[in-house]
């Protein structure tokens, strides 16, 4: 009999982690947008629960992510996130800002993990426990997939709130990504304090902050 997808992800994660130690999955949302923060999340799952439906957040609808987000927060052994804004991204660059956000998310967990699985190719500087960088980890490791859902939902909610502050940009719809609507709004209104001035589509406008 074929195992449920979430159990396949859990087994793949166990093979990578080696078993025994408490595992935290770490992922981020918001590397690519022209505006808004990057959000990193860390999750320690309780595998006695059913995690049916948990997978890479990019493959899920917004409504499904919200349902799974609530499940992760209510059933996980521990979870945490860290929000890093546009000015820090401009100052440090997106890679460094993301890794620093990941470190703080792990440090905020109520349970100290023995092993951290990080989505992507980078290890997180400053972590004192064992860690593994896992390419496409959000599609192959259950804890990373759960972290990807938390990071995405937290960031989307932030952008929806910020849309009420800067309604001219349409942040609630495109979440700060470089869509034609967003680029047109940038040309019409110039950047606001949420925009990443170090990103070429914004800096090329050569307009003052709004």
- Residues 76-102 have pLDDT tens digits of 999 999 999 999 999 999 999 999 999
Which band of pLDDT confidence, cut at 50, 70 and 90, is reported for residue 207? Answer: low
Q: What is the Cα–Cα distance from 208 to 87, expressed in whole angstroms?
A: 15
pLDDT of the residue at 197: 95
Higher pLDDT, 185 or 210: 185
Q: 5-166, what's its fold?
A: Nucleotidyltransferase; domain 5 (3.30.420)
Percent of the chain with pLDDT over 70: 97
Task: Name residues whose C-beta falls within 8 Å of residue 166's C-beta, 6 or more positions apart in sequence.
Answer: 192, 194
pLDDT of the residue at 1: 63
Helices (DSSP H) in 43-170: which residue ranges?
62-75, 86-92, 94-107, 137-140, 142-165
Within a 10 A sphere around the Cβ of 163, how many other Cβ atoms? 18
Helix (H) / strand (E) element for 172: namely: helix 171-174
- Average pLDDT over every residue of 166-176: 98
pLDDT of the residue at 46: 95
- Supply the pTM of this predicted model: 0.95
Q: What is the Cα–Cα distance from 10 to 143, expressed in whole angstroms?
A: 8
Domain residue limits, the chain: 5-166
The pLDDT of residue 18 is above 90: no
Tell me how far CA of residue 56 lies from CA of 24, 34, 163, in angstroms.
16, 22, 26
Helix (H) / strand (E) element for 116: namely: strand 115-119
Strand partners, 195: 35
């Amino acid at each position: 009999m074929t195992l449920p997808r979430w159990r396949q992800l859990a087994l793949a994660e166990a093979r990578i982690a080696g078993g025994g130690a408490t595992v935290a999955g770490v992922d981020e949302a918001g590397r690519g947008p022209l505006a808004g923060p990057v959000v990193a999340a860390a999750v320690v799952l309780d595998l006695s629960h059913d995690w049916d439906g948990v997978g890479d957040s990019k493959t899920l609808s917004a409504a499904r992510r919200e349902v799974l987000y609530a499940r992760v927060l209510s059933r996980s052994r521990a979870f945490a996130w860290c929000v890093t804004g546009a000015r820090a991204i401009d100052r440090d660059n997106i890679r460094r800002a993301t890794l620093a956000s990941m470190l703080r998310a792990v440090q905020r967990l109520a349970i100290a993990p023995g092993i951290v699985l990080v989505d992507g190719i980078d290890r997180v500087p400053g972590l004192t426990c064992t860690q593994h960088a896992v390419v496409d980890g959000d599609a192959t490791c259950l804890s990373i997939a759960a972290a990807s859902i938390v990071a995405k939902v937290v960031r989307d909610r932030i952008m929806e709130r910020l849309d009420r502050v800067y309604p001219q940009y349409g942040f609630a719809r495109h979440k700060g990504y470089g869509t034609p609507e967003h680029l047109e709004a940038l040309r019409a209104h110039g950047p606001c304090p949420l925009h990443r001035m170090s990103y070429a589509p914004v800096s090329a406008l050569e307009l003052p902050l709004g």
